[in-house]
Amino acid sequence: MHVTKRVEFCAAHRYYHAEWTAEENRRRFGKAVGLHGHNYQLEVTVEGVPDPDTGMVMDLKALKDLITDAVLNDLDHRNLNEDVPDLNGQIPTPENLAVCIWERLTPRLVDCRLARVRLTEEAGYSVEFYGEYRP
């Protein structure tokens, strides 16, 4: 049984590789080299078996509180290029963000396991990470 909670956060970022020239960055990343931002939609899916008493895989409020504490408090209303230590040295693509979010959530789940992190950067563009490799 999968249970999914979606939250949103707003952050700024730009795509810029420090070892490349400005021209190379522009050629590779286009207008994404300019500082801009997104309303990210984050869907966290946990997998488990419902508790026979409560009928819940995981209490919804507990799941929301975990996402807030482990992810939103550090990423919401931030500059992803500068304010998030575990993204240092990485281009803040949705792929890299999804792995970062996975690593923050997975050690803190008990009685169920993290099954999927889906991150939608803008309408019609999303990534899904299943923990299939470690950074």
Q: Which residues bind its own copies (CB under 8 A)?
A: 1-8, 10-13, 17, 28, 30-32, 34-39, 43, 49-50, 53-57, 60-61, 76-79, 83, 90-96, 98, 122-129, 132-133
Q: How far is the CB of 48 from its own copies (least distance, A)?
A: 9
Q: What distance in Å separates the CA atoms of residue 47 and residue 10, rounded to the nearest whole number? A: 27
Here the tokens at position 29 are 């990343």
CA distance to 38, 71, 124, 132, per residue, from 101 (Å): 16, 7, 20, 14
Q: Count of CB atoms within 10 A of residue 76's CB?
A: 15
Closer by beta carbon to its own copies, 38 or else 104: 38
Q: How far is the CB of 135 from its own copies (least distance, A)?
A: 10
Q: How far is the CB of 104 from its own copies (least distance, A)?
A: 17
